[in-house]
Amino acid sequence: MALDFSDGWSLYPLGGNTGTAYMGTKASEKVFLKQNASPFLAALSMEGITPRLVWTKRLATGDVMTAQEWLNGRTLQRSEMREQRVARLIHRVHHSHLLHDMLLKVGGRFTTPAQLLTRLQPALAADLRQHPLIQSAFATLQSEQPQLPKTHYEVCHGDLNHKNWLLSDRQRLYLVDWDADPAFDLGALLCEYVPLEEWQRWLQDYGETTTADLTARVNWYARVHCLSVIAESFHQQRFQLMNQHLILLEKLTRESVTD
């Protein structure tokens, strides 16, 4: 897609799935440019969750271009997702009053446990729906849906992949790619990056008292995440990944029953 963008800026595509991110240079200036970025970018920048927002420009096409401070750095490695600084930054996202109020103003929607299950069931192939473990896990999820009041729902990122984190060369950590129970994010991250025996330690690093209620909610969303990965990896014929999440799903389901 050609951009109607001048003012002396030179644009260099940065790749990625959407093709809307660029490095912009003008004289001695260098910025990170994003086309039609999240409407929360200004709030995220103010909270120090993303790199500083420099300016915003509406193009003749109606698209919006945002410029952020260019930071040299790297994405996180998988093993670094277990660190306390990751847990602390996620805690800031979940507990930001600015982001929460902004989301409500623009008509942000709540995502309930029942809605997640409704979306998940048709994603499971017929062969998977006949699997005894998946049948048992799904039935347990339906009967154990978390009952967190919507007044306690917070802003969630929804895709806490390690590639969406930037560690600057000054050792500052940022989320760089963007309404539910915050346990939604926690369950997915723990499944993908933290060994099961370290979950309680990581939740303490996150900054919350690890009550039985929080542990149960994280476990519930983790099982939903496992089923989502199982469904997707089955369609992609990534059977090793599918089996890894089947094993984790069995452990988590067994834990939920014993608790």
Give catalytic residue positions: 159
Q: Which two tokens stand for residue 216?
A: 């149960």
Q: Is 176 helix (H, G, I), strand (E, B) or coil?
A: coil
Q: What is the residue type of 113?
A: P
CB 166 within 8 A of CB 174: yes
What angle in degrees, to the nearest 10, is found between the helix axes of 132-143 and 239-258?
50
Q: In which element (H, E) is residue 193 found?
A: helix 183-193
Half-sphere exposure of 60 (CA within 13 A, CB side): 6
Q: Is 50 helix (H, G, I), strand (E, B) or coil?
A: coil
Q: Which two tokens stand for residue 233?
A: 């990896």
Distance CA 21, CA 15 (A): 7
Q: Which two tokens stand for residue 10?
A: 């030179």
Cα dist from 142 to 117, 129, 186, 226, whole Å: 8, 15, 20, 15
Contacts of 257 (CB under 8 A, 6+ apart): 140
